[in-house]
Amino acid sequence: MKLFDRDQNTDGLLLISALFLVGIGIVMIYSTSSILAERYYHDPYYFLRRQLLAAALGLLVMYLATHFNYEHYRKFTLPLLLLSIALLGIVLIPGISPHRGSRRWLSCFGWTFQPSELAKLAMVIYLAQSLTRKQERIKQFKQGFLPYLLVAGVMIVLIFLEPDLGGALTMGFLVFMMLFAAGTRLSYLISAALVATPALFWALASSEKRWERILAYLDPWDYAQSTGWQLVQSFLSFGQGGIFGMGLGGGLQKLFYLPDAHTDFIFSVIGEELGLMGVVALLLLFGIFITRGIQIALRAETPYGTFLALGIVSMIGIPALFNMAVVLGLLPTKGLVLPFVSYGGSALLINLLALGILLNISAKSSA
C-alpha cells in the first residue's frame, strides 16, 4: 500500500466548490473586517493577511492530504484522539488567557489555535476506524454504543467547559450522525438524546447570558437593545440586501452595528452586500460540496473510507447548517463559524485538511 500517490484523479466538482467558498470567504473577510482592523490594529489588512496565510498553509496541507493514502490515518487514531483530549484540557488550565470570557484558544508566537477544531477531525477518524472494526457488533450496547458514548462524552464536556455550548452540540450531532449511519440502534441514540436533554436545559437555565439569548430568539425585537441586538442587526442586513445586494463593500451593518461580522455573522453581510443571489450561490456551493461528499462516501472502496467520508461531510455540513440557521433567526444565537468562509485560521486549516482526505478517498474509489 503506497503512502503517497501523485498520479490520481481529483474530484473537480468537490474541489472547485470548496475553493470557491474559500475565495468568497477571503473577499468577504476583507470587506467586513477592514474598518474594524483599522480601528483596533491600525492596519486594514490585519485579518485579511492572517486569513490568507492560513489559507496558503491549508492549501498546502490539503494538497499533501490529497496524495496521502487515507488508509494510513488508522495508525494515528489513538495518538490524535489523546492529543485532542489533552489540548482540550490544557485550555482549561488557570492562567491560560481567556478571550471574551471563553478559554477556547491556545496562543503561540502571536498565533492562536482552537483545539476543538482538531477534536472534531480526531473524533471522525476515531469513529471511522472503530466502526469499521465493529461492524458486526455495532448493534450491541456494551461494545457498539457505550464506548463511543464515553469517549464523545469526555470531549463534549471539555468543550462545554470552555465554555462553548455550540461546539459541544456540534460534536454531539457529529457523533449521532456517524453512529446512525453505521447502524447503531435508534433506540440507543434516542435514549441518549433524552438523557442529555435535562443537562442541556440546565446548561441553558444556569447561565443568565444563555437564557437571555433564548428569550431574544423567541422575540428578538423585544430585546433589540440588549441580547437581541445582534440578531436584529442580522435581519436588517438581509432586509437591506434585497435581491442583488448593496454591492461588494457597500454594506452598512458591518460599520460597528453587527458584532462578529467577519466571523459568526459573515453570512449576514453576504446577504446585505451580495443580496439573495449571493445567498443562493453560497447555498448551492455548500449543496454541491455535501452532495459530492455523500456520493464519495457511498462509492468508497472500503468501509473505513465510507465512514471517514461521511464524518468529514458531517463535520463541515453540520456547522454550516447551524451557522446559517442562527444568522437567519431559526436557532438561538450561538458562536459558530461558517466553514471555509468565516475568519478563523484553525477552522480553515482543519477543514482544508479534511477536504484533502475526502479528495483522496474519491481518487482511490475511482482508480
* Cα dihedral 318/320/321/324 (nearest 10): 150
Asked whether residue 333 is assigned to any structural domain, the reply reads yes
Query: What does the pLDDT read at residue 111?
Result: 77
Whether the predicted pLDDT of 4 surpasses 70: no
> Taking all residues of the chain, what is their mean pLDDT, rounded to a whole number?
93
Query: What does the pLDDT read at residue 97?
Result: 56
Query: What does the pLDDT read at residue 21?
Result: 98
**Tens-digit pLDDT profile for residues 220-233:** 999 999 999 999 99
Whether the predicted pLDDT of 335 surpasses 90: no
Quickly state the pLDDT bin for 100 (edges 50, 70, 90).
Answer: low
Q: How much is the pTM?
A: 0.95
Query: What does the pLDDT read at residue 3?
Result: 62
Asked whether residue 4 is assigned to any structural domain, the reply reads no
Quickly state the pLDDT bin for 330 (edges 50, 70, 90).
Answer: very high
Asked whether residue 1 is assigned to any structural domain, the reply reads no
Looking at residue 346, its amino acid is S
Asked whether residue 197 is assigned to any structural domain, the reply reads yes
Query: What does the pLDDT read at residue 74?
Result: 95
Whether the predicted pLDDT of 193 surpasses 80: yes
Query: What does the pLDDT read at residue 115?
Result: 95
Q: How far apart are CA 158 and CA 90, in angstroms?
A: 10
Residue 314 CB contacts under 8 Å (≥ 6 apart), including other chains? 124, 173, 174, 177, 178
| Closest to 159 in 3D by CA, of 141, 145, 174, 144 | 174
| Closest to 290 in 3D by CA, of 200, 183, 179, 177 | 177
- Please state the φ and ψ torsions of residue 43, each to the nearest 5 degrees: -150, 105
Asked whether residue 264 is assigned to any structural domain, the reply reads yes
**Tens-digit pLDDT profile for residues 51-89:** 999 999 999 999 999 999 999 999 999 999 999 999 999
By the 8 A CB rule, do 258 and 264 touch? Answer: no
- Please state the φ and ψ torsions of residue 183, each to the nearest 5 degrees: 105, 15
| Closest to 20 in 3D by CA, of 313, 258, 278, 364 | 278
Number of domains in the chain: 1
**Tens-digit pLDDT profile for residues 206-218:** 888 889 999 999 9
Range(s) of the domain holding residue 117:
12-366
Residue 259 CB contacts under 8 Å (≥ 6 apart), including other chains? 229, 230, 233, 265
Whether the predicted pLDDT of 268 surpasses 90: yes
Asked whether residue 303 is assigned to any structural domain, the reply reads yes
Quickly state the pLDDT bin for 94 (edges 50, 70, 90).
Answer: confident
Query: What does the pLDDT read at residue 34?
Result: 95
3-state secondary structure the chain: CCCECCCCCCCHHHHHHHHHHHHHHHHHHHHHHHHHHHHHHCCCCHHHHHHHHHHHHHHHHHHHHHCECHHHHHHHHHHHHHHHHHHHHHCCCCCCCCECCECCCEEECCEEECHHHHHHHHHHHHHHHHHHHCHHHCCCHHHHCHHHHHHHHHHHHHHHCCCCHHHHHHHHHHHHHHHHHHCCCHHHHHHHHHHHHHHHHHHHHCCHHHHHHHHHHHCHHHHCCCCCHHHHHHHHHHHHHCCCCCCCCCCCCCCCCCCCCCCCCHHHHHHHHHHHHHHHHHHHHHHHHHHHHHHHHHHCCCHHHHHHHHHHHHHHHHHHHHHHHHHCCCCCCCCCCCCCCCCCHHHHHHHHHHHHHHHHHHHHHHC
Range of weakest confidence among 83-92, 105-114, 226-235: 105-114
Range of weakest confidence among 134-148, 264-278, 290-304: 134-148
Query: What does the pLDDT read at residue 296?
Result: 96
Asked whether residue 235 is assigned to any structural domain, the reply reads yes
Quickly state the pLDDT bin for 108 (edges 50, 70, 90).
Answer: confident
Mean per-residue pLDDT for 9-34?
Answer: 95
Query: What does the pLDDT read at residue 101?
Result: 57
Which one is predicted more confidently, 207 or 305?
Answer: 305
Asked whether residue 76 is assigned to any structural domain, the reply reads yes
Whether the predicted pLDDT of 1 surpasses 60: no
